[in-house]
Structure 1
Amino acid sequence: MSLIILVAEILGVISAVDAVMKTRTSQGAIAWAVSLVTFPYVAVPLYWVLGRSEFHGYVQAHRIADLALDPAIEESVAVLEQYVLERPPGPYPAAAAERLAAIPTTHANSVQLLVDGEETFASIEEGIASAQEYILFQFFIVKDDELGRRLQQALIAKAREGVRVSFLYDEVGSHALPRRYKDELREAGAEVYNFHTRQGPRNRFQINFRNHRKVVVVDGRTAWVGGHNVGDEYMGKSPKFGYWRDTHVRIDGPAVLAAQLSFVEDWNWATGRLPQVDWVPDPAPDGADMPVLILPTGPADEFESAALMFTHAISSARERIWIASPYFVPDEGIMSALQLAALRGVDVRILIPDVADHMLVYLAAFTYFDDARKAGVQFYKYTGGFLHQKAVLIDDLAAGVGTANFDNRSFRLNFEITALVGDPGFIDEVDRMFESDFAQSRIVGPDEYSGRPFWFRLAARVARLTAPIQ
């Protein structure tokens, strides 16, 4: 028994050193190190399953994919260059975002704002029906319910027509998706794979990473990106939540190729090969000229791209920064950026749900209210149903819609994707969307956290301690 105790303590110390050296945030490193040394029997296995901060293998697969894609992409570079947005003289606000994306902002795009499930999936189904060559279909959650079966049958119909269908899902998010659902797609000729987070000898216990992206691409001409997953609750049919507030965008134009590249890299990781796709950019058919930057982010990036994206947006704001997210668990750097923005007179508003779907992140959010409110940050809690959208509005310069939540998981552990749009008409539309949501929300008051009973405040503080692995 003494030998077992000694081995556990040694493993705890070794793991604590590893956590201090590799964990990306100081609070995460401290939390893991203390737990590993104090409770090694429980903390050591948890750390090696949940404590990883680097996604091994994807970077190498990404580089191999880039080499394989070079000939195809080189053919379209000359055509794409005419759609790259010309930088104005002087400081360029989007420069940092473009470097994070490793993709330029393009113009000649058309972007349609899709509010809630009915509008979103009607648009996606219309796109699927119009496909002539291929469909790239990727979601974090796919359910075998009314909506899931409807989309499955639409994909099966196109596959039987000879359209190439590539179906990618996250094995954790879609853990309940039955084999029958996938087999029926395969029998029709579709290729179906999970993201396969744990492949490779170093990744057997790599289950804390998720591919949270939701991307649909049709024929390389049209793409959909946003917060909806495939499930009846996203159509407002949840018995628990009722109305489900979410947002997607449809994109036509050269920016579609950036969304397609994100899918192709994920597909290459999951399958070890590249799908057959078209890399020739086309301008939006309606003649629109919207600037769009597609920003994929994830744990395989050189930088913490999602966290830096939000920090850059907050730091760049001069008049307003409005953020909508179902979860609000920022790190210290982003929290400081929000406070500084409010202190310099920026209208900082955070829109979050008034009801919880994940209790830990719901409780943790309460602990940030008082410090943020002191600086002038305003919190709105949406009361019209469950708010699941991920959107940001920066002055009158840019609006973003995507998959990234305002929490550590999206900042550091999830693969995400965001569409940033710099068109005045689209920004006005997002402005009206936010105002409508604020009108269906309540403003968080000074007693929202401090006025709660002790047991609630204690639970919230404990929940905040788990933020690095939420």
Structure 2
Amino acid sequence: MTAHITFETLWYASEWLIRFGALATVPLRRSPSAAASWLLLIFFFPALGLLLYLFIGRPQFPVARQKRARELRAFQLDVAERLENGSSGDRGETADFAQKLGRMPCVDGNSIELIDDYDKVVERLLADIHSAEHTVDLLVYIFADDAVGKCITVELCEAVQRGVRCRVMFDPVGSHRWRRGTLRLLRDAGVETREALPVHLILRRTRADMRNHRKLFVIDGLIGYAGSQNLVAKDFRPGVVNRELVARMSGPIVASLASTISIDWAMEAFDRRDPSPVAIPAMSGGVRAQLLPSGADYPLEGFETLLVWQLHRARQRAVLVTPYFIPDESIIGAMCSAAARGVTIDLVVSSVVDQSIVHLAQCSYFEQLLAAGIRIHLYREFLLHAKNASIDKDIGIVGSSNVDFRSFQLNEEASILLYDRSVIDRLVEIQDGYILASDPVALDAWRSRPRLKRLSENIARIMSPLL
């Protein structure tokens, strides 16, 4: 009896120790909403909350990895300096600010094609690998061993046989369904393969959902791809077909992509070798563009910081396209204040759902946005997985980052900033096509949705900083 009471007392005391410890630890370096979500979970379920917090609650890399990132910064800054020296013209306030956020400069002399056809992206990538003479580097969140992955691997295998150095890095969490098959497929083809941010269940010192979500492909250091598309079949989810947007580039901007891939590759090397050298390609066009990498190795949430700043500066129209919209207070405030100034704000999200809880959390924000005058469009038929934005036709953004907590604070992301009017016009044309293929959300109709759905959305919203 005494032992039983002692155990209960110890358990009760430990729960309160966990609660008080959470008060001292959780709010550090978190937004108020994220801190509140964790504290609610831990206060109601101390043991479960502590376990989850230890597993996914600390948004920082291990000390050793942070040190390695600082060591590799000199390599990144050297590429940036050489790019700046080879570029001409006034880069502008936005480009200078973006360089402070992501360390990569705006460069001119590029050629950029926006491709919004899933199959065409795969076809162009296969053709570029087929023509490769020296190197192929693929950094991607999902690399599957399905029909798409096998087609790409066949081309990589033939390239290896021609003497081309081929490297593939994929995220083991994003690719978990295909991980073993993908590793076997690529290594049997002679392709150098590494996993980005590998997950170790024992002695793990960083949260397992801090992922490398970038999609960057570079061929011969001359051709680059960046956008939202993974290397997997467009219908890999039953009943869901993805639609994406990818920028295919040539010119100096490709060196920014190559340096990011080289650094990510070197981060996972046990021998701590220097990254592969990066040459600056010759100019191939007249487009000004800039790579904005973001993630835990950077001091600020680069994509979010730039987006908020641009929304506050918007004068006429801003279009945001994202499959997952779970904003924080700064994004909501910037959107609503822009709408109050008379700026037209179009938010395009997908009506096709692949993650139910995320969708419910996303819907919980709609009434506030609609009441502020923001137009919301639900894209039909496909899962609109593309991530892009345009503001006043002064800047276009195409990349891998969603408008959510995960992309802002946890994932390694990469966005291409477009400053050339002709390319921005093409982006706006694509975005207007999304809107034509969407159903508008009306405020009155939205307010009349069932109460059970409202309750589900509100519960999901409480969890949104954890999603």
Shorter-chain TM band: over 0.9
User: How far is the alpha carbon of 1:388 from its aligned partner?
Assistant: 0.6
Residue 166 of structure 1 corresponds to which residue in structure 2?
A: 167
**Could you tell me whether the CA contact under 8 Å between 2:61 and 2:206 is conserved in 1?**
no
**Could you tell me whether the CA contact under 8 Å between 1:13 and 1:36 is conserved in 2?**
no
Q: Whole-Å Cα distance in 2 between the matches of residues 100 and 77 of structure 1?
A: 15
Structure 2 residue corresponding to 1:45, chosen from 51, 55, 68: 51
Which amino acid in the other structure matches residue 298 of structure 1?
G
Residue 241 of structure 1 corresponds to which residue in structure 2?
A: 240
Which amino acid in the other structure matches residue 404 of structure 1?
S
| Distance verdict in 2 for CA 1:50–1:447, change over 3 Å | farther
Which amino acid in the other structure matches residue 324 of structure 2?
Y
Which amino acid in the other structure matches residue 62 of structure 1?
A
**Could you tell me whether the CA contact under 8 Å between 2:387 and 2:400 is conserved in 1?**
yes
Q: What SS does structure 2 have at the residue aligned with 1:291?
A: strand
Residue 401 of structure 1 corresponds to which residue in structure 2?
A: 398
Name the stretch that deviates more: 273-282 or 446-455.
Answer: 273-282
Q: Deviations over 1:404-432 (max 9, x none)?
A: 00111011111100001111111111111
1:45-444 matches, cutoff 5 A: 45-56=51-62, 57-67=64-74, 73=78, 77=81, 81-87=85-91, 92-198=93-199, 203-204=204-205, 206-232=207-233, 234=234, 236=235, 239-242=238-241, 244-272=242-270, 273-274=272-273, 277-285=276-284, 288-444=285-441
Q: Whole-Å Cα distance in 2 between the matches of residues 300 and 69 of structure 1?
A: 12
Which amino acid in the other structure matches residue 281 of structure 2?
D
Residue 19 of structure 1 corresponds to which residue in structure 2?
A: 26
User: How far is the alpha carbon of 1:174 from its aligned partner?
Assistant: 0.6
Q: Whole-Å Cα distance in 1 between the matches of residues 458 and 110 of structure 2?
A: 45
Q: What SS does structure 2 have at the residue aligned with 1:210?
A: coil
Q: Whole-Å Cα distance in 2 between the matches of residues 395 and 457 of structure 1?
A: 34
1:452-467 matches, cutoff 5 A: 452-467=449-464
Q: Whole-Å Cα distance in 2 between the matches of residues 225 and 170 of structure 1?
A: 16
Q: Whole-Å Cα distance in 1 between the matches of residues 181 and 306 of structure 2?
A: 39
**Could you tell me whether the CA contact under 8 Å between 1:323 and 1:351 is conserved in 2?**
yes
**Could you tell me whether the CA contact under 8 Å between 2:106 and 2:289 is conserved in 1?**
yes
**Could you tell me whether the CA contact under 8 Å between 1:449 and 1:457 is conserved in 2?**
no
TM-score by length of 1: 0.92
Q: What SS does structure 2 have at the residue aligned with 1:165?
A: strand
Q: Whole-Å Cα distance in 1 between the matches of residues 291 and 398 of structure 2?
A: 10
Q: What SS does structure 2 have at the residue aligned with 1:396?
A: coil
Give % identity. Answer: 27
User: How far is the alpha carbon of 1:223 from its aligned partner?
Assistant: 0.8
User: How far is the alpha carbon of 1:173 from its aligned partner?
Assistant: 0.4
Which amino acid in the other structure matches residue 34 of structure 1?
L
Which amino acid in the other structure matches residue 264 of structure 1?
S
| Distance verdict in 2 for CA 1:448–1:50, change over 3 Å | farther
| Distance verdict in 2 for CA 1:379–1:69, change over 3 Å | closer
User: How far is the alpha carbon of 1:384 from its aligned partner?
Assistant: 3.2
Q: What SS does structure 1 have at the residue aligned with 2:142?
A: coil
The CA RMSD over aligned residues, in Å, is: 2.2
Q: What SS does structure 2 have at the residue aligned with 1:148?
A: helix
Q: What SS does structure 1 have at the residue aligned with 2:376?
A: strand
TM-score by length of 2: 0.92
User: How far is the alpha carbon of 1:279 from its aligned partner?
Assistant: 2.2
Which amino acid in the other structure matches residue 141 of structure 1?
I
**Unpaired runs of 5+ in structure 2?**
1-6
Q: Whole-Å Cα distance in 2 between the matches of residues 390 and 183 of structure 1?
A: 31
Q: Whole-Å Cα distance in 1 between the matches of residues 316 and 114 of structure 2?
A: 23
| Distance verdict in 2 for CA 1:268–1:201, change over 3 Å | farther
User: How far is the alpha carbon of 1:275 from its aligned partner?
Assistant: 7.1
| Distance verdict in 2 for CA 1:161–1:148, change over 3 Å | same
Q: Whole-Å Cα distance in 2 between the matches of residues 160 and 190 of structure 1?
A: 10
Task: Tell me whether 1:35 sits opposite 2:35 in the alignment.
Answer: no
Q: What SS does structure 1 have at the residue aligned with 2:218?
A: strand
Name the stretch that deviates more: 309-318 or 394-403.
Answer: 309-318
Q: Whole-Å Cα distance in 1 between the matches of residues 201 and 238 of structure 2?
A: 40
| Distance verdict in 2 for CA 1:98–1:125, change over 3 Å | same
User: How far is the alpha carbon of 1:456 from its aligned partner?
Assistant: 0.8
**Could you tell me whether the CA contact under 8 Å between 2:360 and 2:457 is conserved in 1?**
yes
- How many residue pairs get aligned? The number is 458
**Could you tell me whether the CA contact under 8 Å between 1:80 and 1:281 is conserved in 2?**
no
User: How far is the alpha carbon of 1:448 from its aligned partner?
Assistant: 5.0
User: How far is the alpha carbon of 1:367 from its aligned partner?
Assistant: 1.5
Which amino acid in the other structure matches residue 36 of structure 1?
I
| Distance verdict in 2 for CA 1:205–1:290, change over 3 Å | closer
**Could you tell me whether the CA contact under 8 Å between 2:134 and 2:164 is conserved in 1?**
yes
Residue 4 of structure 2 corresponds to which residue in structure 1?
A: none
User: How far is the alpha carbon of 1:442 from its aligned partner?
Assistant: 0.8
Q: Deviations over 1:371-428 (max 9, x none)?
A: 1112211000101321110011111211111000011101111110000111111111
